[in-house]
Amino acid sequence: MLSRRDFLKLVGAGIATTVMGCAQQQAPTAPTPTPTPTPKTTPKPTKELKLAYVAYRTGPAAAFGEPGHQGIDLLVDWVNASGGIAGAKIKVIHEDEGKPAEVVEKFKRLCLDEKVDVIMGLASTANSMAAAPVAEENSTLFLSCQARIPYVTWNDPKDPSKGRMDWVFKTNNSAVSHAVQAAYLLAEFFPDAKVVAQVHPDYAWGYDNYEVFTAAIKKLKPDVEVLEPLYPKLFTPDYTPYITDLVNAKPDYIFTSLWGTDATRFIDQLIPYQLLKGAGGNTYLCGYWDFYIALGRDLPLYGHPQQGIQGHWAELDEISPEYERYIKEFKQRYDRWPQAGAVDAVSAFYTWKAAIEKAYEEKGEFPTNDEIRDAMENLGKVETFYGTGIMRKEDHRVLWPINTGLTAKHEWLPYTVKPKIHLEPSKQEPPALTKGTDWIATW
């Protein structure tokens, strides 16, 4: 018979092995063997660019990460089919994300063994913070494009006066933008709202959203009562205890920064409680409806605020023909709509592509990665099929104008945003190397 002590040893061993097993599952694979040298008689091979995309492919965060991988594949297929970037074909290396220590190891391997030209992606704030210095130390371009961490390019996230890194860029909009949008939406569309609740995941992204939103709403609508935030743990399966608190508080407006499967679960579990407008109640939910439809849902509630993700198809008045092709090919290939991750991937890919083309044009031959980096920070504008971003050299950020508003029906997309408000970058992103709350204090 197994004694309790033996069992506990077993359980301990089992849990330890679980952790190790997970780590091993994500552990770096052996480096690809060096290809045999090409015989001299064959024609000179075309240059190949190595693009590593790192984002969650498994677990609850795959709902955000996997569309990024898929979007990159689609874009690379397009570009390779039309001759590559400046004549160079692109090879994509896909990596799952995992925990910070694993991501650091992956970044080291990608920089040193794989010798990739660029790394893009990362959905987690903690992972981005851990991995960005690795790219910097190894002089490898890292385009942070999924996590919405405003200070990923800074040398010291707590002290903007120490400046920015040289090899790290951020191409998507930030947590500050999202939280400020949520405050603008409340002030613009719900002037009668009295009580506001907030539900954010219990880590840096959630805290940033709470701080910035609360600071912004106190400036824009000082008469509103802001309730204590609810901070469910990341990837909580069961939100009902939090929902009960919301039902008791009966707020007029709920701002949530839950994302991925968390957003979907929260909305699924919240709808039956007859709290939300359109589902038996009077409360508006400001959140990521994008994640909701990404898991194959019809949008059940129209008129609920949606925060803007740069160039998201739901926010645009007009979809360009190339964007329409992207959306439709994505839907056809992967049987789902291209949501936030797939839109983020576009921002990074086009920034990188534009930098290579600019450097190539200036040099007349294929540029080195140093030259690509220089060209990238001096890009000025980043043109994509969904709009134009501005490269801010001071902190290596691409800034985007945003449309944000209320969800409405659309003829061929799952939903659109109408009416909406247009916010130029200066209205929703702080100046370079400035904390969001410091910037809002100057309003």
Q: Which of 122, 35, 117 is nearest to 84 (CA)?
A: 117
Minimal distance, residue 99 CB to another protein, in Å? 13
C-beta closer to another protein: residue 176 or 301: 301
Neighbours of 413 (CB within 10 A): 16
Could you give the string, one character per residue 64-93, with x where binding to another protein holds by CB under 8 A and - elsewhere? --x---------------------------
Q: Which two tokens stand for residue 181?
A: 């949008």
Nearer to another protein, 168 or 263 (CB): 263
Q: Which of residues 202-231 bind another protein (CB under 8 A)?
A: 230-231
User: Any contact of residue 198 with another protein (CB under 8 A)?
Assistant: no
187 or 295: CB nearest another protein: 295
The interface with another protein within residues 383-402 (CB under 8 A) comprises none
Which residue in 220, 227, 247, 408 binds another protein (CB under 8 A)? 247
CA distance 25 to 105: 13
Tokens of 16: 């330890």
Task: Tell me phi and psi for residue 362, to 5 degrees.
Answer: -70, -35
Stretch that binds another protein, among 36-44, 208-216, 232-240, 410-418 (CB under 8 A): 232-240
Nearer to another protein, 15 or 441 (CB): 15
Rounded to the nearest whole angstrom, what is the least distance from the CB of residue 262 to another protein in the complex?
A: 10
Residue 68 C-beta: closest distance to another protein, Å: 12
| Identity of the residue, 174 or 407, whose beta carbon is nearer to another protein in the bound complex | 407
CA–CA gap between residue 40 and residue 120 (Å, rounded): 34
Q: How far is the CB of 143 from another protein (least distance, A)?
A: 23
Number of helices (H) and strands (E) in the chain: give both, helices first: 14, 15
Sole binder of another protein in the list 100, 133, 300, 431 (CB under 8 A): 300
Given candidates 78, 203, 273, 366, which one binds another protein under the rule CB under 8 A?
A: 273
**What is the nearest approach in angstroms of another protein to the Cβ of residue 45?**
34
Q: Give whole-number Cα distances, 26 to 19, 21, 293, in Å.
A: 11, 9, 29
> Least distance (Å) from another protein to the CB of residue 25?
7
Residue window 105-144: x/- pattern of binding to another protein, with contact defined by CB under 8 A: ----------------------------------------
Give which of 64, 81, 83 is closest to 73, Cα–Cα: 81
Integer distance in angstroms from the first to the last C-alpha of the chain? 70
> Does the footprint of another protein cover residue 27 (CB under 8 A)?
no
| Binding characters for another protein, 277-296, by CB under 8 A (x = yes) | ---x--------------x-
| Contact residue for another protein among 194, 233, 250, 409 (CB under 8 A) | 233
Q: Which tokens is 261 given?
A: 């499967």
d(CA 396, CA 377): 6
Separation between Cα atoms, residue 208 and residue 371, nearest integer Å: 35
Q: In this complex, which beta carbon is closest to another protein, that of residue 64 or of residue 323?
A: 64
Q: Phi, psi (5° rounding) for residue 288?
A: -100, 90
Which is closer to another protein, CB of 152 or CB of 254?
Answer: 254
Burial 305-321 (b: 16+ CB within 10 A, else e): bbbbbbbbbbbbeebee
Q: Please, which of residues 325-364 interact with another protein by CB under 8 A?
A: 336
State whether the Cα torsion 269-272-278-280 is positive or negative: negative
* 20 near another protein, rule: CB under 8 A: no
Q: Is 320 in the site for another protein (CB under 8 A)?
A: no
CA distance 143 to 397: 10
Q: Residue 157 or residue 281: which is nearer to another protein going by CB? A: 281
Q: In terms of C-beta distances under 8 Å and separation of at least 24 residues, what long-range contacts does 57-63 make, across chains too? A: 57/94, 57/96, 57/97, 58/96, 59/235, 60/235, 60/260, 60/261, 60/262, 61/97, 61/123, 61/124, 61/235, 61/260, 61/261, 62/260, 63/260, 63/261, 63/264, 63/291, 63/294, 63/295
Question: Nearest approach, Cβ of 374 to another protein (angstroms)?
Answer: 38
Residue 308 is inside which H or E element, if any?
none
Which one, 167 or 205, has the nearer CB to another protein?
A: 205
In the complex, the residues that contact another protein under the rule CB under 8 A are 1-2, 4, 6-8, 10-11, 13-15, 17-18, 21-22, 25, 57-60, 62-63, 66, 230-233, 237-238, 240-242, 244-245, 247-248, 260-261, 264-265, 268-269, 271-274, 280, 295, 300, 336
